[in-house]
């Protein structure tokens, strides 16, 4: 049976921001649709309206000519619209089966059979009786998909589904989605990754600043044309020049181990690597394989044996982050609002936070506000942070601006080594480009980077050497030119 | 010295009796906390239950009205808490503390007229079987309906949370209210219900104190039992069966230290009085030392306000 979904003149206004401005779209089953746009373009708002999480101010939604009133997520479910959110809607401490049964009206045994059938059909294999927090991101996503499939949906919406997946998991997901589409499920695929749109979809709708910019067939588009539509300007592509080979060793990690008391953290086993001046070492891996522990050990949040880290001919394994900064290391953690900055504090106050000793920010224990403000203004202009107001609380900066501020704060002291963890996570194309350019510039100034990232494209673009972390162990270190994303994917999955 | 075996039975029975209010209040609070709400007003709700039960019994003469009235009073006062924390999104900790202070104050005010009035005898079951079995007789028989209910409650609570759909929904809301809301679960409704249930159980616990355990009204008669109940929930890592163990240890040591004081054991009284608190916490910490299980049973959203942004 054909399914036809129509969005007609949908508008949603938030204070100070029009999230959806008079958007109209039409979808037919049998095709996979891409909804493309940068962060804040309004695509998430639109799909939240389709799934009943957000109620639009104006506009109608029709499914097979029936006008739908979607006032809550259960209304969407009743009307056979299934949605897999970017941030999983799973209950971590409940078992997989409990997660699946919670919104089903079926009896336990009947449901178990149904789930087994679905898993066999699509080749999923998940233990139903373990808690969700023990699953990998890919498995969690499959649980979400099963949750939708139980209800035999007519429409399946996927919101940025690949941001947490490996290459292999992504291609598995694409196979499943194609299969669903062949079976008559209408698929709407939300993303900002252009490559995926080209690979998977039949039609693409591009959104920018709340407005629908274009609807077109994939066969009439290419990556550049889509990128320009999405950003609204011509993007220059950046490319790293091959670094001068230097043999001047800056940091050396020897037999570093970390055993956590928390069973949900990953233990690090026998980590060995070194980075030369002017080099960028990329560390790839699926999130949750020890990256955050590795970052904490390198930054001094977790203290290790003195001799395990040698930096600039000093042994610094037992120093805390503040002391390591004095040896000219700098850090950009993954979670911008939780670890890197204090959201309730003003921009200039955050700037002062990582510079307690080696600066003139403080006189006899008193804050030298003028100095800090002067310094903050310099960061804001040097690093292109899009605000004039250094009194603004950091929580009101967009992700991209906050990341620029953090990197700027770290770099203005001109450190010898910058360690960053997923620096472009969740940023839009423009901001990603800027961060990438900045990182390349650092290497050109003969300074080094350790880049821990889950984004393979980013690693291949920026790194000189690459290693893969899997279950707390590092693979051997490879030259970036010899590595392909397929090879990384295989290593990330744990194979040799 | 020959100790009558039935005497030991009687001591165990009195230990169990002193554990009853703790079990009731803790199991109620456990459900509240499993839904992600931290209600520090247990002491206040208990004392409201105590005075309401005693006052209704004195005024109406009906024990049934008194018991259910006390539970209703617990529900009413917890409705204030629910309205403040769930509808007006106030801070759980501050609101709970205020509730306790409010409860103690208002119970003292109402209770002025009931000081010194003798209570009524509460009917007990199977009185006649008490002497039929040595040791077990006094433990099993001759208790009030509330007593039997209290000892069944941890098992009912455990079954409810693990095996029923509503129990699953309660745990889900406590784990992630955002996900629950996106799944179409009415988070606020679930939390309201759990808070009100906690209030009813605290009210019942209070009524047990003023109507059955020591049938009279004394100002501030809960004497910190509400706080102990709260501690039991946390140290039992939200496990109803461990609450039962903790409540028995606490009740046991309270009774035994009385006897030790009476015999004249040469240990400072202050230490004996502190003993139940110390030992209960140590035992519960030791039996709950499995960080994996703690992670799986701790409601992740405990004490955090949830509001839907539309």
With contact defined as beta carbons under 8 Å apart, do B71 and B50 qualify? no
CB half-sphere exposure, A493, CA atoms < 13 A: 14
Of A457, A455, A458, A480, the closest CA to residue A467 belongs to A480
Which value does ipTM take for this structure?
0.82
Q: Tens digit of pLDDT for each residue in A275-312? A: 999 999 999 988 778 898 999 999 998 888 889 999 99
Of A223, A217, A81, the closest CA to residue A154 belongs to A81
User: What are the residues facing A249 on neighbouring strands?
Assistant: A276
Which residues have CB under 8 Å from B154's CB, separation 6+? Answer: B23, B27, B240, B241, B243, B244
A12 min Cα distance to partner chain B (Å)? 10
Round the average pLDDT of chain A to a whole number and report it.
Answer: 86
pLDDT at residue A234 in the model? 62
Which residue is associated with the tokens 């077990």? B136
Best residue of B34, B166, B182, B307 to probe chain A, by most A CBs closer than 10 Å: B182
- Which two tokens mark A90? 């799973």
| CA–centroid distance for B221 within its chain | 14
Q: Tens digit of pLDDT for each residue in A49-84? A: 998 888 999 999 999 988 988 888 888 888 999 999
Please identify every stretch of chain B with a pLDDT value under 70, giving residue numbers as ranges: 1-3, 308-310
Q: How far apart are CA A329 and CA A251, in angstroms?
A: 10
Q: How far apart are CA A46 and CA A55, in angstroms?
A: 10
pLDDT band with cut points at 50, 70 and 90 for residue A424: confident
User: What are the residues facing A478 on neighbouring strands?
Assistant: A466
Give, for A271, the enclosing helix (H) or strand (E): strand A268-276
More confident residue, A253 or B135: A253
Q: What is the DSSP string of A83-152?
A: EE-SS----TTSBHHHHHHTT--S-HHHHHHHHHHHHHHTT----TTSBGGGS-HHHHHHHHHHHHHTT-
The neighbour count for residue B123, using CB atoms within 10 Å, is: 10
Return residue ranges of chain A for CATH 3.40.50.300: 4-231, 249-492
Tell me the longest C-alpha to C-alpha distance in chain B. Answer: 74
B168 touches chain A (CB under 8 A): yes
Q: How far apart are CA B32 and CA B159, in angstroms?
A: 16
Q: Which chain A residues in 14-73 lie under 8 Å from chain B, judged by CB atoms?
A: 51-55, 72-73
Contact A102 B179 (CB under 8 A): no
pLDDT at residue B310 in the model? 46
Q: What is the DSSP string of A325-384?
A: HHTTEEEE-S-IIIIIS-TTSBHHHHHHHT-SSSSSSEETTEE-HHHHHHHHHHHHHHTT
With contact defined as beta carbons under 8 Å apart, do A281 and A273 qualify? yes
B260 min Cα distance to partner chain A (Å)? 42
pLDDT at residue A237 in the model? 61
Q: Tens digit of pLDDT for each residue in A319-339? A: 988 889 888 899 998 888 778
With contact defined as beta carbons under 8 Å apart, do A446 and A457 qualify? no
Which residue is associated with the tokens 């003003």? A346
Q: In terms of CATH architecture, what is A249-492?
A: 3-Layer(aba) Sandwich (3.40)
Q: How far apart are CA A104 and CA A118, in angstroms?
A: 15
With contact defined as beta carbons under 8 Å apart, do A337 and A345 qualify? no
Q: What is the DSSP string of A407-470?
A: HHHHHTT--SEEEEESTTTT--HHHHHHHHHHHHHHHHTT-EEEEE-S-HHHHHHH-SEEEEEE
CB-based burial label for A82 (10 Å; 0-12, 13-18, 19+): buried
A77 touches chain B (CB under 8 A): yes
Where are any strands of DSSP class E within A195-244? Answer: 203-208, 211-217
- Which two tokens mark A233? 């300007």
Q: In terms of CATH architecture, what is B5-297?
A: Orthogonal Bundle (1.10)
Best residue of B35, B173, B175, B290 to probe chain A, by most A CBs closer than 10 Å: B175
pLDDT at residue A334 in the model? 86
- Which two tokens mark A126? 């998940």
Q: In terms of CATH architecture, what is A4-231?
A: 3-Layer(aba) Sandwich (3.40)
Q: Tens digit of pLDDT for each residue in A445-479? A: 889 999 999 888 889 889 999 999 998 999 999 99
Q: What are the domain boundaries of chain B?
A: 5-297
CB half-sphere exposure, B15, CA atoms < 13 A: 23
Residue % of chain A over a pLDDT of 70: 95
Instruction: List the single residue in A51, A85, A91 with the smallest CB-CB distance to B172.
Output: A91
Inter-CA distances, A452 with A50, A114, A240, B2, B288, Å: 36, 41, 18, 74, 37
């Amino acid at each position: 049976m054909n399914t036809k979904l129509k969005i007609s003149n949908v508008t949603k206004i938030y204070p100070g921001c029009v999230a959806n401005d008079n958007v109209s779209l039409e979808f037919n089953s049998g095709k996979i649709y891409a909804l493309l746009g940068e962060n804040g373009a309004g695509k998430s708002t639109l799909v939240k309206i389709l799934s009943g999480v957000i109620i639009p101010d104006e506009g109608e939604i029709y499914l097979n000519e029936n006008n739908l009133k979607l006032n809550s997520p259960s209304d969407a479910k009743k009307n056979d619209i299934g949605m897999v959110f970017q941030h999983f809607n799973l209950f971590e401490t409940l078992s997989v089966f409990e997660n699946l049964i919670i919104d089903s009206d079926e009896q336990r045994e009947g449901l178990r059979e149904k789930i087994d059938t679905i898993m066999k059909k699509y080749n999923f294999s998940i233990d139903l009786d373990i808690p969700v927090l023990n699953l990998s991101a890919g498995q969690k996503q499959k649980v979400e998909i099963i949750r939708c499939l139980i209800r035999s949906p007519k429409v399946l919406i996927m919101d940025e589904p690949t941001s947490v997946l490996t290459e292999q998991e992504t291609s598995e997901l694409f196979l499943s989605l194609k299969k669903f589409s062949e079976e008559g499920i209408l698929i709407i695929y939300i993303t900002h990754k252009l490559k995926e749109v080209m690979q998977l979809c039949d039609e693409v709708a591009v959104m920018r600043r709340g407005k629908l910019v274009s609807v077109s067939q994939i066969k009439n588009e290419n990556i550049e044309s889509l990128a320009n539509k999405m950003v609204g300007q011509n993007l220059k592509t950046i490319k790293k020049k091959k670094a001068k080979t230097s043999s001047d060793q800056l940091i050396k990690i020897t037999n570093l181990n970390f055993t956590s008391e928390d069973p949900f953290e990953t233990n690090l086993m026998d980590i060995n690597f070194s980075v030369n001046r002017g080099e960028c070492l990329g560390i790839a891996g699926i999130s949750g394989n020890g990256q955050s522990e590795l970052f904490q050990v390198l930054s001094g949040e977790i203290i290790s044996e003195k001799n395990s880290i040698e930096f600039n001919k000093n042994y610094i394994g037992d120093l805390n982050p503040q002391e390591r900064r004095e040896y000219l290391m700098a850090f950009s953690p993954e979670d911008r609002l939780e670890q890197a900055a204090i959201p309730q504090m003003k921009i200039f106050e955050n700037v002062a936070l990582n510079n307690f000793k080696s600066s003139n920010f403080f006189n006899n224990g008193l804050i030298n506000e003028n100095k800090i403000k002067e310094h903050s203004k310099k960061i804001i202009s040097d690093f292109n942070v899009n605000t004039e107001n250094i009194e603004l609380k950091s929580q009101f900066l967009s992700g991209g601006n906050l990341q620029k501020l953090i990197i700027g704060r770290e770099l203005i002291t001109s450190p010898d080594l910058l360690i960053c963890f997923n620096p472009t996570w969740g940023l839009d194309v423009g901001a990603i480009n800027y961060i990438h350019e900045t990182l390349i510039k650092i290497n050109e100034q003969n300074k080094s980077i350790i880049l821990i990232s889950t984004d393979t494209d980013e690693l291949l673009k920026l790194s000189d050497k690459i290693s893969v972390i899997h279950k707390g162990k590092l693979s051997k270190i490879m030259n970036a030119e010899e590595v392909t994303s397929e090879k990384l994917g295989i290593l990330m999955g744990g194979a040799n | 010295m020959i100790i009558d075996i039935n005497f030991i039975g009687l001591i165990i029975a009195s230990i169990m009796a002193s554990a009853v209010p703790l079990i009731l209040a803790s199991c109620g609070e456990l459900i509240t906390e499993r839904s992600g709400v931290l209600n520090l007003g247990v002491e206040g709700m208990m004392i409201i239950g105590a005075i309401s039960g005693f006052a209704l019994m004195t005024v109406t003469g009906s024990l049934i009205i008194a018991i259910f009235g006390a539970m209703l009073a617990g529900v009413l006062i917890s409705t204030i808490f629910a309205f403040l924390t769930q509808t007006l999104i106030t801070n759980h900790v501050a609101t709970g503390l205020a509730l306790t202070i409010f409860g103690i104050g208002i119970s003292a005010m109402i209770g002025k007229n009931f000081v010194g009035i003798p209570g009524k005898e509460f009917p007990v079951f199977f009185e006649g079987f008490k002497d039929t079995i040595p040791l077990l007789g006094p433990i099993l028989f001759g208790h009030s309906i509330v007593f039997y209910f209290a000892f069944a409650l941890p098992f009912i609570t455990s079954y409810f949370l693990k095996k029923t759909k509503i129990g699953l929904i309660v745990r889900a809301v406590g784990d992630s209210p955002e996900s629950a809301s996106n799944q179409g679960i009415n988070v606020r409704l679930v939390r309201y219900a759990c808070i009100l249930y906690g209030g009813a159980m605290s009210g019942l616990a209070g009524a047990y104190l003023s109507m059955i355990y020591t049938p009279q009204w004394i100002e501030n008669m809960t004497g910190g039992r509400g706080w102990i109940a709260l501690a039991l929930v946390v140290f039992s890592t939200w496990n109803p069966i461990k609450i039962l163990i903790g409540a028995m240890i606490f009740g046991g040591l309270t009774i035994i230290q009385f006897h030790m004081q009476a015999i004249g054991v040469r240990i400072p009284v202050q230490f004996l009085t502190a003993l139940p608190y110390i030992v209960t916490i140590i035992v519960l910490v030791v039996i709950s030392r499995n960080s994996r299980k703690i992670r799986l049973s701790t409601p992740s959203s405990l004490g955090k306000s949830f509001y839907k942004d539309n």
